[in-house]
Amino acid sequence: MADQTHDAPLLEARNLTRRFGALVAVDDVSFIVEKGQVFGIAGPNGSGKSTLFNIITGVPFRPSSGQVFLSGQPIERLRPHQISRAGILRTFQKDAEFATLSARENAYASAVFCGQSDSRSAHAAAEQALDDVSFDKGRRDRAAWALSVFERKQLMIASAIAGRPKVLLLDEPAAGLTRPEIADLARLVRTVHERGITVVLIEHVLPLLLDVSQHLMILNQGAIIASGKPQEVVRNPLVMEAYLGKREAVL
Ligand SMILES: Nc1ncnc2c1ncn2[C@@H]1O[C@H](COP(=O)(O)OP(=O)(O)OP(=O)(O)O)[C@@H](O)[C@H]1O
Ligand SMILES: [Mg+2]
């Protein structure tokens, strides 16, 4: 088995499709994420980006058809907690932390959920993750609901990395941030990446994607319309037309 998976990419989606009745939210999507990449995903509202994360992680549903491989191993039939523990963690577009738990407790809960049964090592992982995202040490005992928007983003990422993922899926982390905060978020994504975590980043903020991604994939109506080097992809006429509905440069 080890021989077969030796050269496998870290994450591979093969012909992933998700239907909701007559709607094909994700339509025969295949892509490869290599270890160490920041892999960007963009596309208009409703193009299937979040559904793609949903079916990769099994939260809250599986693909209608197609396969997902982590280091060559099929995972699409695993249960959500098994997928997390295998090394794929995600953040959500909307706040998903436990509002009444502190930042520390949230990161700790994530470490435990991801399989760190020894409480001392789970606490250490939580603290390290909060350090990694430069979370203010004086505010770690605050309830999540009392944090600023940017602190909640830091916490969301810290909670994910406390679970020690191989691949971190970020769903529109820049939503609701100011321009200076987006620059801080870019630094945060780079820090996570430098810690050896491969990142798949869904974003509407194209300058952020261009800043941090090595590869960019564009979805439209559930299907891939362009995929490749970010600077080339945003100049693709299909992307200009479908993404903004007009034949102008996206940037
Ligand atoms: N559970 C569901 N049941 C029915 N339809 C759904 C469900 N989840 C998503 N859809 C539909 O699938 C399509 C893709 O939705 P999705 O949330 O993946 O888009 P998105 O690209 O993430 O959009 P946005 O940029 O607004 O976040 C939409 O038409 C949406 O209404
Ligand atoms: Mg979405």
Q: Which atom of ligand 1 is nearest to the CA of 54?
A: 18
pLDDT at 2: 44
pLDDT digits (tens, 9 = 90+) for 33-73: 999 999 999 999 999 999 999 999 998 899 999 999 999 99
172 Rama sector, left if φ>0, alpha if ψ -120 to 50, beta otherwise: left
pLDDT at 250: 53
Pocket test residue of 41, 49, 218 for ligand 1, highest count of atoms within 8 A of CB: 49
**Which residue, 154, 100, 102, 98, is CA-closest to 130?**
154
In DSSP notation, 126-170 reads HHHHHHHTT--GGGTTSBGGGS-HHHHHHHHHHHHHHT--SEEEE
> For 164-230, where are the E strands, in sequence order?
167-171, 198-202, 215-220, 223-228
- How far is 199 from 203, CA to CA, in rounded Å? 12
pLDDT at 118: 87
* Ligand positioned closest to the Cα atom of 52: 1
Q: How far does residue 50's CA lie from ligand 1's centre (Å)?
A: 7
- How far is 197 from 62, CA to CA, in rounded Å? 24
Ranges of residues in the chain whose predicted pLDDT is under 70: 1-6, 244-251
pLDDT at 90: 92
Residue nearest to atom 6 of ligand 1 (CA): 20
Q: How far does residue 239's CA lie from ligand 1's centre (Å)?
A: 20
pLDDT at 251: 54
pLDDT at 1: 42
Token pair of 242 as six digits: 């479908």
Q: Which helix (H) or strand (E) holds 20?
A: strand 11-20
pLDDT at 225: 95
Provide the CA 20 distance to its chain's centre, in angstroms: 22
Residue nearest to atom 10 of ligand 1 (CA): 25
* Ligand positioned closest to the Cα atom of 219: 1
pLDDT digits (tens, 9 = 90+) for 182-206: 999 999 999 999 989 999 999 998 8
